[in-house]
Amino acid sequence: MVIHQSNWIDGQEAPPTATTIPVINPATEQSLATINATSSEAVNEIITASWKTFHSGVWSKKDPSDRFTVLSKASTLLRSRINEFIALETAQTGRPIREMRTQLARVPEWLDYFASLARVHEGRVTPFKGAVTNTLTRIPLGVVVLITPYNHPLLIAMKKIAAALAAGNVVIVKPSELAPLSVLKLGALFKEAGLPDGVLQIVSGYGRETGKYLCEQPNISKIDLTGGIATYRAIAPVAAMNMVPVTAELGGKAPVCLFPSMDVETAVKAALFAGFIASGQTCVTGSRLLVHQDIYDTFKTLLEKRVRALRVGAPTDEKTQIGSVISAAAIERCESFVSRATAEGGTILCGGTKLHPTPSGKGFFFAPTIIETHSASDLANNEVFGPVLALIKCADEDEIIRVANGTAYALGASVWSNDFTQAHRVADRIEAGIVWINGHHLNDPSSPWGGFKESGLGKENGVEAYEGYTKVKSTVMNYGVKPVWFDDEVVDARYG
């Protein structure tokens, strides 16, 4: 029997809607559950209730130490139940269980970090001429809408939820309809941790419908989106009309810059890790391998050998290294990139086709793919969001930097060099919000995450994210400046 997972509204599971959406296991094509398709009328009611909850002060006026207690308890509860979430994430995303076990073990850290930040974050006293004191305090924004993706359902949702709740907001989350189940389970967990009813609302539905309804609401105070540039361009005009700020993480085309001082074996391992985690379905996938000509031929030979040896299969198998992609549409997208790459003169070194690695013959699997191509190709410039990597030979350091900076994206990049001076010189010249030296995919709650150019606006993680969920109030206290009246001959310039 297929279960139904309803919205979490005002501290309880809402009734099922008349229209439901199936959630499919992408590795088996079997139905996991159904979820609500939330209507515009229901969204209006949820926004109205959330607005009342915010202004009641039940959370927004809580002492930061009380927020600390609730978020810390939620972290403890999540750690104790993490195996349930690992199994659910594996089933709904098709990612290998070994990956999910590693990733989800760290998710409670975001609650710990932002709980602590809520407790210790301080206001400021700014310089002010004369006998005047100016204090700056940060207060919560109001009702914030979080639109989260399918590729890291729990991690990305928690990055946003933890910061928004720590700052005192009422939070409405709309997870991707492709992988919403782990996020929908958070409602009951936060309630058990002591979060007041109505402070965390979790709403399911299609992005083009429910997500759109949420983002069009004039009574919201912020939109935090992780998705594609097309989604941002659809919501940005309405957000601007309603004077609603938007934080947007919109994808990337991360270069992996490999220099001759690196051992070739290490360079190949770096490329595999950067490019094929989550079957290439991450915003910072190392999808462009920019290899210095001095190691290129040796690197290419070893890379092809290692990619062919990767174990593609059932995500629940502990030996599986590469799981499925999320849907049939993702397969078609990978195929179209491969087709265009070869039409532009690219050479497929390995992969390039869909696979049927399980006994059932079901599931959305695509072979890990390396295509030797040039920097102007479609594959080298646009996001695949699948296990299809571009291999590009570069003559020298300057060409690697030029190619690395040559796309519309600027989220992440990695520089691999054992020459300390070169590593920092190159990192300094690369245009990206995150540059790793001798690493890739490294993440921490305290480390700001976000890109430049078409990769988005604003930051997740860190003090920057917390402050992005607040507004600044300036209180100016005059304790010695003489009042100025209209009939005074000289007007004090401090009165603006």
- For residue 365, give the CATH number of its domain: 3.40.309.10
Question: Contact, 283 vs 159, CB < 8 A?
Answer: no
The answer on pLDDT for 495 being more than 90 is: no
- Identify the pLDDT of residue 490: 55
Top pLDDT among 288 and 492 is at 288
Buried b / exposed e along 116-153 (16+ C-beta atoms within 10 A)? ebbbebeeeeeebeeeeeeeeebebbbbbbbbbbbbbb
Give the whole-angstrom CA distance, residue 293 versus residue 394.
6
Claim to verify: residue 387 and residue 295 sit in the same structural domain: yes
- Identify the pLDDT of residue 491: 55
Q: The tokens 């309809």 sit on which residue?
A: 177
- Identify the pLDDT of residue 286: 98
Q: The tokens 């957000």 sit on which residue?
A: 239
Alpha-carbon dihedral 147, 150, 151, 157, rounded to 10 degrees: 40
Strands of the sheet containing 31-36, edge to edge, are: 3-5, 31-36, 20-24
In a domain, 483, yes or no: no
Q: Return the bridge partners of 434, or none.
A: 412
In a domain, 76, yes or no: yes
DSSP conformation letters of 256-302? EEE-TTS-HHHHHHHHHHHHHGGGG-STT---EEEEEHHHHHHHHHH
State mean pLDDT over 463-485.
Answer: 92
How far does CA 490 lie from the centroid of its chain? 55
In a domain, 482, yes or no: no
Give the whole-angstrom CA distance, residue 134 versus residue 309.
64
In a domain, 496, yes or no: no
- Whole-angstrom CA distances from 50 to 111, 192, 200, 246 are 22, 19, 9, 19
The answer on pLDDT for 493 being more than 80 is: no
In a domain, 95, yes or no: yes
Q: What is the pLDDT of residues 3-28, one digit of tens each?
A: 999 999 999 999 999 999 999 999 99
Give the whole-angstrom CA distance, residue 236 versus residue 457.
11
Claim to verify: residue 221 and residue 319 sit in the same structural domain: no
- The tokens for 368 are 């890990």
Burial category of 437 from C-beta neighbours within 10 Å (exposed 0-12, middle 13-18, buried 19 and up)? middle
In a domain, 104, yes or no: yes
Give the whole-angstrom CA distance, residue 27 versus residue 361.
10
Report percent pLDDT > 70 for the chain: 97
Short-list 38, 87, 346, CA closest to 212: 38
- Whole-angstrom CA distances from 397 to 320, 389, 417 are 36, 21, 11
Give the whole-angstrom CA distance, residue 147 versus residue 203.
10
- Identify the pLDDT of residue 118: 96
Give the whole-angstrom CA distance, residue 420 versus residue 433.
21
Domain of residue 202, CATH code? 3.40.605.10
- Known catalytic residues are 249
Give the whole-angstrom CA distance, residue 411 versus residue 441.
12
In a domain, 442, yes or no: no
The number of beta carbons lying within 10 Å of the beta carbon of residue 209 is 17
The number of beta carbons lying within 10 Å of the beta carbon of residue 233 is 11
Q: What letter would DSSP give residue 385? A: -
Give the whole-angstrom CA distance, residue 392 versus residue 374.
6
The number of beta carbons lying within 10 Å of the beta carbon of residue 476 is 11
Claim to verify: residue 235 and residue 343 sit in the same structural domain: no
Claim to verify: residue 130 and residue 26 sit in the same structural domain: yes
- Identify the pLDDT of residue 484: 72
The answer on pLDDT for 492 being more than 80 is: no
H helical segments located in 261-409: 264-276, 293-308, 328-343, 397-404
Look at residue 207 and give its three-state secondary structure. helix
The answer on pLDDT for 312 being more than 80 is: yes
Question: Contact, 394 vs 372, CB < 8 A?
Answer: no
- Identify the pLDDT of residue 482: 85
Buried b / exposed e along 247-258 (16+ C-beta atoms within 10 A)? bbbbbbbbbbbb
In a domain, 286, yes or no: yes
Claim to verify: residue 59 and residue 28 sit in the same structural domain: yes
Q: At 321, phi and psi to the nearest 5?
A: -105, -30
Question: Contact, 98 vs 276, CB < 8 A?
Answer: no
- Identify the pLDDT of residue 371: 98
Mean pLDDT of the chain: 96
Claim to verify: residue 245 and residue 303 sit in the same structural domain: no
Claim to verify: residue 431 and residue 316 sit in the same structural domain: yes
Side chain identity at 231, as an amino acid letter?
T
Say if strands 452-453 and 434-437 run parallel, antiparallel, or are unpaired: unpaired
Q: What is the pLDDT of residues 35-92, one digit of tens each?
A: 999 999 999 999 999 999 999 999 999 999 999 999 999 999 999 999 999 999 999 9
Total tally of structural domains belonging to the chain: 2
Alpha-carbon dihedral 281, 284, 290, 296, rounded to 10 degrees: -60
- Identify the pLDDT of residue 486: 65
Q: Return the bridge partners of 136, or none.
A: 124, 474
Claim to verify: residue 22 and residue 148 sit in the same structural domain: yes
Give the whole-angstrom CA distance, residue 434 versus residue 239.
27
Claim to verify: residue 101 and residue 244 sit in the same structural domain: yes
Q: Which domain holds residue 43?
A: 3-250+455-476
State mean pLDDT over 242-248.
Answer: 97
Claim to verify: residue 244 and residue 260 sit in the same structural domain: no
- Whole-angstrom CA distances from 452 to 156, 198, 247, 410, 438 are 19, 35, 12, 5, 21
The answer on pLDDT for 141 being more than 80 is: yes
Q: What is the pLDDT of residues 251-281, one digit of tens each?
A: 999 999 999 999 999 999 999 999 999 999 9
Claim to verify: residue 141 and residue 236 sit in the same structural domain: yes
- Identify the pLDDT of residue 487: 60
The number of beta carbons lying within 10 Å of the beta carbon of residue 212 is 19
Claim to verify: residue 176 and residue 264 sit in the same structural domain: no
